[in-house]
Amino acid sequence: MTTSAQSIAPIRFDGKVAIVTGAGGGLGRSHALQLAARGARVVVNDLGVARDGSGNGMSPAEKVVAEIREAGGQAIASAASVTDPAAVQEMVEQVMREWGRIDILVNNAGFLRDKSFSKMTLDDFRAIVDVHLMGAVYCTKAVWEIMKQQNYGRIVMTTSSSGLFGNFGQANYGAAKMALVGLMQTLGLEGEKYDIRVNCLAPTAATRMTEDLMPPEVLALLTPESVTPGMLYLASADAPNKMVLCAGAGTFSRSNITLTDGVHIGERPDAVEQLVANAHRLQDRSGEIVPVAGFQQGQMEVTKAREGKA
């Protein structure tokens, strides 16, 4: 059961400046429009490429900016490629000249080059990693020190169920999207004392990237607008930190990387045989935890080793 909307204060972004990459259509457009409608000044970044990353143009970003301005909001367009660090830096400098701060970064830009791993070229693999992973790295790096100096920042990475759980024909996309979760985990720790919160959104939405993958009746439920509330939550003042939020068709859930209690075998000649014999204990999730940081794995292992010798 959801809580009555009458009892909840509206989420606002008045005075905040947001950059949304890949905002010329689909999810990015929805994100940009909603941020602007709730008071944010928005940089609509879009290279204007096709679904496979080819071509470019300014018109998609300009159209979204026009929509925002017609509704009474403030926005500027950017055609910077997220794969070009110099262009990204120039975009950030333009925003600082225009508005003097950057509070929110939504790393949403991307495209697909789906093929089975056997048929996928290394160029296709590299192109997807460059835009999804390195594009997010370049944009985040460009705003990181600004957010530290402000003692405030909200960064939303766009991950995917293809990275979290796998999807046939998307080895390149899945690898890049899961890498963003690892990036989030560390940046969430490093940014915490500066009130920089870093989270991941795993959307399921009907966009040009998914239009050929699902039947029309399913696509009708998976609107970008049904995902955007998740982004707004992760970008808000009361945002969590290091959360992977899954969103689609108005349903929201959290995905966690967990650590089971495991089994201590120790150093012995038949260690691998003992591991095989106790494989069921590896899969026992009754005592699993969600580690705060990577050190907890080593801490658990050393503790069990000491207990085994006691």
| Contact (CB, 8 A) for 197 and 2 | no
The residue type of 135 is: G
Quote the DSSP letter at residue 248: E
* Residue carrying structure tokens 């909603």: 34
| Contact (CB, 8 A) for 67 and 3 | no
| Contact (CB, 8 A) for 171 and 133 | no
The residues that bridge with 107 in the sheet, in sequence order, are 157
Nearest CA-CA partner of 223 in 202, 240, 199, 206: 206
In the sheet that holds 196-204, the strands lie side by side as 74-78, 41-45, 17-21, 104-107, 153-158, 196-204, 244-248, 251-255
**Which strand (E) or helix (H) includes residue 85?**
helix 85-99
Catalytic machinery residues: 173
Report how far residue 60's alpha carbon sits from residue 69's, in angstroms, rounded to the nearest whole number: 15
**Which strand (E) or helix (H) includes residue 61?**
helix 59-70
Q: Are strands 251-255 and 244-248 parallel, antiparallel or unpaired?
A: antiparallel
Report how far residue 234's alpha carbon sits from residue 148's, in angstroms, rounded to the nearest whole number: 18
- Cα 204 versus chain centre, distance: 13
